[in-house]
Structure 1
Amino acid sequence: MSNYSDVTLFSGGHRGAEAEFGKLAEKFGLNEVNFSFEGHNIERTRGMKVLSPEELKKGDISMDIVSARMGRKFSRVDKIRKVFQSIFHMVNNGYQVFVVGWILPDNTVKGGTGWGVELARLFNRPVFVYEQDRRAWFSWIDSSWQEVNPTISHKTFAGTGTRNLTEDARKALKKLFKKSFDA
Protein backbone atom coordinates (compact mmCIF):
# COMPACT_ATOMS: atom_id res chain seq x y z
CA MET A 1 0.00 0.00 0.00
CA SER A 2 1.38 3.37 -0.90
CA ASN A 3 -1.46 5.77 -0.09
CA TYR A 4 -2.16 5.38 3.61
CA SER A 5 -5.01 7.90 3.53
CA ASP A 6 -7.01 5.16 1.74
CA VAL A 7 -6.56 2.79 4.72
CA THR A 8 -9.25 2.71 7.42
CA LEU A 9 -9.14 1.35 10.95
CA PHE A 10 -12.52 0.24 12.35
CA SER A 11 -12.56 0.15 16.13
CA GLY A 12 -14.53 1.02 19.23
CA GLY A 13 -12.42 3.79 20.77
CA HIS A 14 -12.26 2.27 24.28
CA ARG A 15 -9.30 2.82 26.57
CA GLY A 16 -6.52 0.29 26.21
CA ALA A 17 -6.00 -1.56 22.94
CA GLU A 18 -8.64 0.28 20.92
CA ALA A 19 -7.34 3.71 21.96
CA GLU A 20 -3.80 2.62 21.09
CA PHE A 21 -4.91 1.38 17.65
CA GLY A 22 -6.56 4.77 17.09
CA LYS A 23 -3.54 6.81 18.20
CA LEU A 24 -1.32 4.82 15.86
CA ALA A 25 -3.79 5.12 12.96
CA GLU A 26 -3.81 8.89 13.41
CA LYS A 27 0.00 9.05 13.68
CA PHE A 28 0.42 7.15 10.41
CA GLY A 29 -2.25 9.17 8.55
CA LEU A 30 -4.91 6.46 8.36
CA ASN A 31 -8.66 6.96 8.50
CA GLU A 32 -10.33 5.96 11.74
CA VAL A 33 -13.93 4.95 12.45
CA ASN A 34 -14.90 4.32 16.08
CA PHE A 35 -18.30 2.69 16.49
CA SER A 36 -20.33 3.66 19.52
CA PHE A 37 -23.95 3.88 20.59
CA GLU A 38 -26.13 6.27 22.56
CA GLY A 39 -25.08 6.48 26.22
CA HIS A 40 -21.70 4.78 25.64
CA ASN A 41 -18.54 6.66 26.56
CA ILE A 42 -15.36 6.06 24.60
CA GLU A 43 -11.84 7.46 24.88
CA ARG A 44 -11.23 8.13 21.17
CA THR A 45 -13.78 10.25 19.40
CA ARG A 46 -11.89 10.78 16.12
CA GLY A 47 -14.12 9.37 13.37
CA MET A 48 -16.82 8.46 15.90
CA LYS A 49 -19.88 6.82 14.35
CA VAL A 50 -22.82 6.58 16.74
CA LEU A 51 -24.87 3.60 15.62
CA SER A 52 -28.63 4.05 15.57
CA PRO A 53 -30.88 1.37 17.11
CA GLU A 54 -31.59 0.13 13.56
CA GLU A 55 -27.88 -0.10 12.74
CA LEU A 56 -27.17 -1.90 16.02
CA LYS A 57 -29.83 -4.50 15.17
CA LYS A 58 -27.82 -5.49 12.08
CA GLY A 59 -25.29 -6.99 14.49
CA ASP A 60 -27.85 -8.60 16.78
CA ILE A 61 -27.44 -12.19 17.80
CA SER A 62 -28.90 -14.39 20.50
CA MET A 63 -26.86 -14.23 23.69
CA ASP A 64 -27.40 -18.01 23.89
CA ILE A 65 -25.51 -18.39 20.60
CA VAL A 66 -22.71 -16.10 21.82
CA SER A 67 -22.46 -18.06 25.07
CA ALA A 68 -22.43 -21.41 23.26
CA ARG A 69 -19.85 -20.30 20.69
CA MET A 70 -17.53 -18.93 23.37
CA GLY A 71 -18.17 -21.59 25.99
CA ARG A 72 -19.18 -19.19 28.74
CA LYS A 73 -22.12 -17.13 29.93
CA PHE A 74 -22.48 -13.42 29.36
CA SER A 75 -24.83 -11.10 31.11
CA ARG A 76 -28.05 -10.50 29.23
CA VAL A 77 -28.10 -6.80 30.04
CA ASP A 78 -28.74 -4.35 27.27
CA LYS A 79 -25.26 -2.78 27.33
CA ILE A 80 -23.27 -5.97 26.66
CA ARG A 81 -25.63 -6.78 23.78
CA LYS A 82 -24.95 -3.33 22.30
CA VAL A 83 -21.20 -3.84 22.73
CA PHE A 84 -21.43 -7.14 20.82
CA GLN A 85 -23.57 -5.46 18.16
CA SER A 86 -20.96 -2.70 17.73
CA ILE A 87 -18.18 -5.33 17.51
CA PHE A 88 -20.12 -6.84 14.58
CA HIS A 89 -19.78 -3.50 12.75
CA MET A 90 -16.01 -3.38 13.38
CA VAL A 91 -15.43 -6.88 12.04
CA ASN A 92 -17.94 -6.57 9.21
CA ASN A 93 -16.21 -3.41 7.93
CA GLY A 94 -12.58 -4.43 8.47
CA TYR A 95 -11.12 -7.17 6.31
CA GLN A 96 -8.21 -8.06 8.61
CA VAL A 97 -8.91 -8.26 12.36
CA PHE A 98 -6.21 -7.43 14.93
CA VAL A 99 -6.82 -8.11 18.61
CA VAL A 100 -4.87 -7.76 21.85
CA GLY A 101 -5.81 -10.14 24.66
CA TRP A 102 -5.45 -13.66 25.94
CA ILE A 103 -6.07 -16.94 24.10
CA LEU A 104 -7.81 -19.38 26.44
CA PRO A 105 -7.28 -23.18 26.54
CA ASP A 106 -10.54 -23.70 24.58
CA ASN A 107 -9.08 -21.56 21.72
CA THR A 108 -11.42 -18.63 22.37
CA VAL A 109 -10.17 -15.21 23.44
CA LYS A 110 -10.93 -13.83 26.90
CA GLY A 111 -13.80 -11.41 27.45
CA GLY A 112 -15.98 -9.50 25.05
CA THR A 113 -12.96 -9.12 22.78
CA GLY A 114 -13.37 -12.81 22.05
CA TRP A 115 -16.63 -12.12 20.23
CA GLY A 116 -14.70 -10.10 17.63
CA VAL A 117 -12.36 -13.05 17.14
CA GLU A 118 -15.29 -15.47 16.80
CA LEU A 119 -16.94 -13.23 14.21
CA ALA A 120 -13.68 -12.97 12.27
CA ARG A 121 -13.41 -16.76 12.26
CA LEU A 122 -17.07 -17.14 11.20
CA PHE A 123 -16.58 -14.57 8.40
CA ASN A 124 -13.32 -16.28 7.30
CA ARG A 125 -11.35 -13.09 7.91
CA PRO A 126 -7.63 -13.06 8.62
CA VAL A 127 -7.49 -12.70 12.42
CA PHE A 128 -4.42 -11.94 14.51
CA VAL A 129 -4.23 -11.97 18.31
CA TYR A 130 -1.38 -10.44 20.25
CA GLU A 131 -1.31 -12.79 23.23
CA GLN A 132 -0.15 -10.66 26.15
CA ASP A 133 1.11 -13.52 28.34
CA ARG A 134 3.11 -15.16 25.54
CA ARG A 135 4.19 -11.79 24.09
CA ALA A 136 3.64 -12.93 20.52
CA TRP A 137 1.18 -12.65 17.61
CA PHE A 138 -0.97 -15.65 16.68
CA SER A 139 -3.30 -16.29 13.74
CA TRP A 140 -6.08 -18.85 13.32
CA ILE A 141 -4.67 -21.13 10.61
CA ASP A 142 -5.81 -24.69 9.84
CA SER A 143 -8.04 -24.80 12.95
CA SER A 144 -5.35 -23.81 15.44
CA TRP A 145 -3.52 -20.74 16.74
CA GLN A 146 -0.14 -20.44 15.07
CA GLU A 147 2.57 -17.90 15.86
CA VAL A 148 2.98 -15.34 13.07
CA ASN A 149 4.56 -11.97 12.31
CA PRO A 150 1.64 -10.05 10.77
CA THR A 151 1.40 -6.88 8.73
CA ILE A 152 -1.60 -4.72 7.98
CA SER A 153 -1.95 -5.36 4.26
CA HIS A 154 -5.55 -4.44 3.41
CA LYS A 155 -7.29 -1.10 3.08
CA THR A 156 -9.69 -1.96 5.89
CA PHE A 157 -8.90 -3.55 9.21
CA ALA A 158 -10.46 -3.85 12.64
CA GLY A 159 -8.54 -3.23 15.85
CA THR A 160 -9.91 -4.23 19.24
CA GLY A 161 -8.85 -5.80 22.49
CA THR A 162 -8.40 -5.59 26.19
CA ARG A 163 -8.70 -2.41 28.18
CA ASN A 164 -5.74 -3.67 30.24
CA LEU A 165 -2.99 -3.16 27.70
CA THR A 166 0.52 -4.09 28.81
CA GLU A 167 3.54 -2.00 27.87
CA ASP A 168 4.84 -4.95 25.84
CA ALA A 169 1.56 -5.07 23.86
CA ARG A 170 1.76 -1.32 23.27
CA LYS A 171 5.26 -1.84 21.81
CA ALA A 172 3.98 -4.74 19.67
CA LEU A 173 1.25 -2.50 18.20
CA LYS A 174 3.78 0.24 17.43
CA LYS A 175 6.01 -2.34 15.74
CA LEU A 176 3.03 -3.66 13.71
CA PHE A 177 2.15 -0.16 12.44
CA LYS A 178 5.78 0.77 11.77
CA LYS A 179 6.34 -2.46 9.80
CA SER A 180 3.07 -1.97 7.88
CA PHE A 181 3.27 1.77 7.14
CA ASP A 182 6.84 3.08 7.33
CA ALA A 183 8.11 3.54 3.81
Structure 2
Amino acid sequence: MNNDPSQFTLYSGGHRGAEAEFGKLAEQYGVKEVNFSFEGNVLDRDKGMRLLNQEELEKGNISMDIVSTRLGRSFSKGNRIRKVIQSIFHMVNNGYQIFTVGWILPDKTVKGGTGWGVELGKLFNRPIFVYEQDREAWFSWVENDWQMVTPVIHHKTFSGTGTRNLTEDAAEAMKDLFERSFS
Protein backbone atom coordinates (compact mmCIF):
# COMPACT_ATOMS: atom_id res chain seq x y z
CA MET A 1 0.00 0.00 0.00
CA ASN A 2 1.34 3.40 -0.92
CA ASN A 3 -0.43 5.68 1.55
CA ASP A 4 1.42 8.85 2.55
CA PRO A 5 0.78 8.95 6.33
CA SER A 6 1.28 12.73 6.47
CA GLN A 7 -1.95 13.10 4.48
CA PHE A 8 -3.95 11.27 7.17
CA THR A 9 -5.43 12.59 10.43
CA LEU A 10 -6.30 10.58 13.53
CA TYR A 11 -9.12 12.00 15.68
CA SER A 12 -9.03 10.66 19.22
CA GLY A 13 -9.36 11.57 22.88
CA GLY A 14 -5.87 11.00 24.31
CA HIS A 15 -7.03 8.86 27.24
CA ARG A 16 -5.00 6.04 28.78
CA GLY A 17 -5.19 2.75 26.90
CA ALA A 18 -6.41 2.47 23.31
CA GLU A 19 -6.53 6.23 22.60
CA ALA A 20 -2.98 6.87 23.85
CA GLU A 21 -1.79 3.85 21.84
CA PHE A 22 -3.52 5.10 18.66
CA GLY A 23 -1.76 8.44 19.23
CA LYS A 24 1.69 6.88 19.72
CA LEU A 25 1.27 4.88 16.52
CA ALA A 26 0.07 7.95 14.62
CA GLU A 27 3.15 9.86 15.78
CA GLN A 28 5.46 6.96 14.91
CA TYR A 29 4.06 6.78 11.35
CA GLY A 30 3.81 10.55 10.79
CA VAL A 31 0.01 10.70 10.87
CA LYS A 32 -1.48 14.02 12.06
CA GLU A 33 -3.18 13.76 15.44
CA VAL A 34 -6.07 15.66 17.00
CA ASN A 35 -7.11 14.79 20.57
CA PHE A 36 -10.44 16.30 21.63
CA SER A 37 -10.72 17.30 25.26
CA PHE A 38 -12.58 19.67 27.57
CA GLU A 39 -11.84 21.86 30.57
CA GLY A 40 -10.80 19.79 33.59
CA ASN A 41 -10.19 16.58 31.61
CA VAL A 42 -6.82 14.91 32.20
CA LEU A 43 -5.29 13.20 29.18
CA ASP A 44 -2.57 10.59 28.97
CA ARG A 45 -1.57 12.07 25.64
CA ASP A 46 -2.07 15.76 24.83
CA LYS A 47 -0.26 15.99 21.48
CA GLY A 48 -2.53 17.83 19.05
CA MET A 49 -4.97 18.57 21.87
CA ARG A 50 -8.05 20.51 20.80
CA LEU A 51 -9.91 21.91 23.81
CA LEU A 52 -13.65 21.99 23.09
CA ASN A 53 -15.48 25.03 24.46
CA GLN A 54 -19.03 24.87 25.85
CA GLU A 55 -20.60 25.78 22.49
CA GLU A 56 -18.64 23.03 20.69
CA LEU A 57 -19.49 20.49 23.39
CA GLU A 58 -23.19 21.35 22.94
CA LYS A 59 -22.95 20.26 19.25
CA GLY A 60 -22.37 16.74 20.55
CA ASN A 61 -25.06 16.98 23.21
CA ILE A 62 -27.63 14.24 23.34
CA SER A 63 -30.00 13.06 26.04
CA MET A 64 -28.30 10.53 28.31
CA ASP A 65 -31.62 8.61 28.11
CA ILE A 66 -31.05 8.18 24.34
CA VAL A 67 -27.47 7.01 24.94
CA SER A 68 -28.69 4.57 27.62
CA THR A 69 -31.51 3.27 25.38
CA ARG A 70 -29.25 2.88 22.33
CA LEU A 71 -26.64 0.98 24.37
CA GLY A 72 -29.15 -0.96 26.46
CA ARG A 73 -27.65 0.09 29.80
CA SER A 74 -27.77 3.10 32.04
CA PHE A 75 -25.25 5.91 32.15
CA SER A 76 -25.12 8.44 34.94
CA LYS A 77 -26.50 11.88 34.29
CA GLY A 78 -23.23 13.32 35.61
CA ASN A 79 -21.51 16.22 33.91
CA ARG A 80 -18.21 14.42 33.24
CA ILE A 81 -19.73 11.42 31.40
CA ARG A 82 -21.88 13.86 29.40
CA LYS A 83 -18.75 15.76 28.31
CA VAL A 84 -17.02 12.49 27.38
CA ILE A 85 -20.08 11.51 25.27
CA GLN A 86 -20.04 15.00 23.69
CA SER A 87 -16.32 14.77 22.85
CA ILE A 88 -16.81 11.29 21.31
CA PHE A 89 -19.27 12.97 18.91
CA HIS A 90 -16.43 15.20 17.65
CA MET A 91 -14.09 12.21 17.14
CA VAL A 92 -16.67 10.31 15.09
CA ASN A 93 -17.95 13.39 13.26
CA ASN A 94 -14.41 14.26 12.08
CA GLY A 95 -13.03 10.78 11.40
CA TYR A 96 -14.61 8.85 8.54
CA GLN A 97 -13.34 5.37 9.46
CA ILE A 98 -13.95 4.42 13.10
CA PHE A 99 -11.43 2.13 14.84
CA THR A 100 -12.11 0.99 18.40
CA VAL A 101 -10.74 -1.53 20.86
CA GLY A 102 -12.91 -3.23 23.44
CA TRP A 103 -15.58 -5.87 23.83
CA ILE A 104 -18.59 -6.64 21.65
CA LEU A 105 -21.52 -7.55 23.88
CA PRO A 106 -24.20 -10.19 23.12
CA ASP A 107 -26.66 -7.41 22.12
CA LYS A 108 -24.12 -6.34 19.42
CA THR A 109 -23.23 -3.08 21.19
CA VAL A 110 -19.71 -2.37 22.45
CA LYS A 111 -18.94 -2.11 26.16
CA GLY A 112 -18.62 1.27 27.90
CA GLY A 113 -18.30 4.79 26.52
CA THR A 114 -16.50 3.28 23.50
CA GLY A 115 -19.88 1.83 22.60
CA TRP A 116 -21.26 5.33 22.04
CA GLY A 117 -18.59 6.00 19.40
CA VAL A 118 -19.59 2.76 17.68
CA GLU A 119 -23.31 3.62 17.84
CA LEU A 120 -22.66 7.09 16.39
CA GLY A 121 -20.61 5.45 13.64
CA LYS A 122 -23.61 3.22 12.86
CA LEU A 123 -25.97 6.24 12.86
CA PHE A 124 -23.59 8.18 10.56
CA ASN A 125 -23.20 5.10 8.33
CA ARG A 126 -19.41 5.01 8.74
CA PRO A 127 -17.06 2.06 8.30
CA ILE A 128 -16.60 0.74 11.86
CA PHE A 129 -13.92 -1.64 13.09
CA VAL A 130 -13.69 -3.09 16.59
CA TYR A 131 -10.76 -5.08 17.88
CA GLU A 132 -12.52 -7.55 20.19
CA GLN A 133 -10.07 -8.24 23.00
CA ASP A 134 -11.58 -11.55 24.16
CA ARG A 135 -11.75 -13.02 20.65
CA GLU A 136 -8.43 -11.39 19.65
CA ALA A 137 -9.73 -10.35 16.22
CA TRP A 138 -10.96 -7.32 14.27
CA PHE A 139 -14.67 -7.11 13.40
CA SER A 140 -16.56 -4.72 11.13
CA TRP A 141 -20.22 -3.71 11.25
CA VAL A 142 -21.61 -5.01 7.93
CA GLU A 143 -25.31 -5.54 7.12
CA ASN A 144 -26.32 -5.12 10.79
CA ASP A 145 -23.91 -7.68 12.19
CA TRP A 146 -20.28 -8.05 13.25
CA GLN A 147 -18.08 -9.80 10.69
CA MET A 148 -14.43 -10.74 11.16
CA VAL A 149 -12.13 -8.65 8.92
CA THR A 150 -8.56 -7.49 8.42
CA PRO A 151 -8.96 -3.70 8.35
CA VAL A 152 -6.77 -1.12 6.63
CA ILE A 153 -6.76 2.63 7.24
CA HIS A 154 -7.55 3.93 3.77
CA HIS A 155 -9.52 7.12 4.41
CA LYS A 156 -7.66 10.37 5.12
CA THR A 157 -9.61 10.93 8.35
CA PHE A 158 -10.18 8.25 10.95
CA SER A 159 -10.97 8.07 14.63
CA GLY A 160 -9.34 5.82 17.20
CA THR A 161 -10.90 5.15 20.57
CA GLY A 162 -11.48 2.33 22.99
CA THR A 163 -10.91 0.79 26.36
CA ARG A 164 -8.49 2.11 28.94
CA ASN A 165 -7.66 -1.54 29.72
CA LEU A 166 -5.68 -2.47 26.63
CA THR A 167 -4.34 -6.02 26.33
CA GLU A 168 -0.89 -6.73 24.86
CA ASP A 169 -2.58 -8.59 22.02
CA ALA A 170 -4.76 -5.57 21.20
CA ALA A 171 -1.73 -3.25 21.21
CA GLU A 172 -0.02 -5.64 18.80
CA ALA A 173 -3.12 -5.72 16.56
CA MET A 174 -3.14 -1.90 16.49
CA LYS A 175 0.53 -1.89 15.54
CA ASP A 176 -0.21 -4.37 12.74
CA LEU A 177 -3.10 -2.15 11.53
CA PHE A 178 -0.74 0.84 11.14
CA GLU A 179 1.94 -1.28 9.52
CA ARG A 180 -0.57 -2.78 7.03
CA SER A 181 -1.90 0.69 6.28
CA PHE A 182 1.29 2.74 5.99
CA SER A 183 4.29 0.49 5.28
Unaligned runs of 5+ in 1: none
Matches within 5 A, 1:12-161: 12-161=13-162
Ranges of 4+ aligned residues in structure 1 off by more than 2 Å: none
| Kept after mapping to 1: 8 A contact 2:3/2:181 | no
Unaligned runs of 5+ in 2: none
Number of residue equivalences: 182
Give the superposition deviation at 1:4: 1.5
Give distance in 2, aligned partners of 1:170 and 1:119.
Answer: 24
Give distance in 1, aligned partners of 2:119 and 2:6.
Answer: 29
SS in 2 for 1:10: strand
**RMSD (Å), alpha carbons:** 0.6
Give distance in 1, aligned partners of 2:152 and 2:3.
Answer: 14
Give the superposition deviation at 1:6: 1.3
Give the letter aligned to residue 9 of structure 2: T
SS in 1 for 2:37: strand
SS in 2 for 1:110: coil
- Give TM-score scaled by structure 2 length: 0.98
Give distance in 2, aligned partners of 1:181 and 1:52.
Answer: 33
Measured against aligned partners, the alpha-carbon deviations of 1:58-108 in whole angstroms (never above 9, x if no partner) come to 000000100110000000000000000000000000000000000000000
- Give TM-score scaled by structure 1 length: 0.98
| Kept after mapping to 1: 8 A contact 2:100/2:129 | yes
Give distance in 2, aligned partners of 1:4 and 1:79.
Answer: 33
Measured against aligned partners, the alpha-carbon deviations of 1:32-70 in whole angstroms (never above 9, x if no partner) come to 000000000001111000000000000000001001100
Give the letter aligned to residue 148 of structure 1: V
Indicate the residue corresponding to 2:5 in structure 1. 4
